[in-house]
Amino acid sequence: MKQKRKINIALDGHASTGKSTTAKALARRLGYIYVDTGAMYRAVTLYALENGWIGPGFFYRERLIDALNGLDIGFRYNAETGTSETFLNGRNVEALIRRPEVADYVSQVAAVPEVRRKLVEIQQQIARQGGVVMDGRDIGTVVMPDAELKVFMTASPEVRARRRYDEMRSKGEEVDFEQVLRNVHQRDRIDSTRKASPLRRAEGARLLDNSNMSIPEQIDLILSWVDEVLGKE
Domains, the chain, in order of start with CATH, read 9-226 (3.40.50.300)
pLDDT for 1: 40
pLDDT for 232: 56
**229-to-5, 19, 20, 139, 222 alpha-carbon distances in Å:** 11, 20, 22, 18, 11
Q: How far apart are CA 124 and CA 209, in angstroms?
A: 27
pTM, 2 dp: 0.72
Q: Which of 199, 69, 87 is nearest to 138 (CA)?
A: 199
Q: How far apart are CA 119 and CA 211, in angstroms?
A: 30
b/e map 122-159, b = 16+ CB within 10 Å: bbeebbeeeebbbbbbbbbbbbbeebbbbbbbbbebeb
> Residues near 99 by Cβ (< 8 Å), separated by ≥ 6?
none
CA 193 to chain centre: 18
What dihedral angle (degrees, nearest 10) is formed by the CA atoms of 187, 188, 192, 198? 50
CA 198 to chain centre: 14
pLDDT in tens, the chain (233 residues): 455 789 999 999 998 898 988 999 998 888 888 888 889 999 999 999 999 999 999 999 999 999 999 998 887 777 777 677 889 999 999 999 999 999 999 999 999 999 989 998 888 988 888 888 999 888 999 899 999 999 999 999 999 999 989 988 998 888 899 999 999 999 888 888 887 778 889 999 999 999 999 999 999 999 999 999 998 54
Strands (DSSP E) found in 101-155: 132-136, 149-154
3-state class (DSSP) for residue 12: strand
Task: Decide: 148 and 139 in contact? Cβ < 8 Å.
Answer: no
